[in-house]
Amino acid sequence: MTRLPSALDTQLQRESGVTHFEYWVMMLLSEEPGHRLQMSELAHKANASLSRLSHVVSKLERMGWAQRSTTMGRRGVHAVLTDDGYLKVVEAAPGYLDAVRHLVFDGLDATQKAELADLSEVLAQRLAEAVSQLAPGTDGATRRDRPGK
């Protein structure tokens, strides 16, 4: 499992000049209305710290693929995918999907693909539950550590 992101990173950098995480962030933005999302929500969707996301968005800004935006009367900064950023996602997507297909699915038969889907669902649910239980309390304790939880 730890080799897959690295292999995808290599393919994306070679073919499109972006890292797997940069592609992921731009892809998430490309699916949003107006290609924009509040930074904190984007960090949540990308499963990244706000610090890591901010660093990546800064790089995407330098490349002309994203920009930050504020909305009058609203809190928070939005990341916005530029037209060039959207074109980069569209350009990179076929190679990315081919790599995922080749690295993950081509070596599996129909039964194994169904088993992978079932296992992935169970793992995703388990991870979501575990992460929600680890949310820190005001005293630094986790929900599991607090009485009555």
**Weakest-pLDDT range from 3-12, 54-63, 97-106, 135-144:** 135-144
User: So what's the pLDDT on residue 5?
Assistant: 87
Residues 88-122: pLDDT tens digits? 999 999 999 999 999 999 999 999 999 999 999 99
Amino acid at 53: L
Q: How far is Cα 60 from Cα 142, in angstroms, rounded to an integer? A: 35
Instruction: State the pLDDT at residue 78.
Output: 94
**Could you tell me the pTM of the whole model?**
0.79
Give the pLDDT of residue 135: 62
Contact between residue 80 and residue 36 where contact means Cβ atoms under 8 Å apart: yes
Q: Which of 116, 29, 121 is nearest to 80 (CA)?
A: 29
136: confidence class by pLDDT, cuts 50, 70, 90: low
In degrees, rounded to 5, the angle at the alpha carbon of residue 26 between the alpha carbons of residues 8 and 86 is: 115
Share of the chain above pLDDT 90, in %: 74
What confidence score (pLDDT) does residue 17 get? 94
Res 137 pLDDT > 60: no
Banded pLDDT at 127 (limits 50, 70, 90): confident
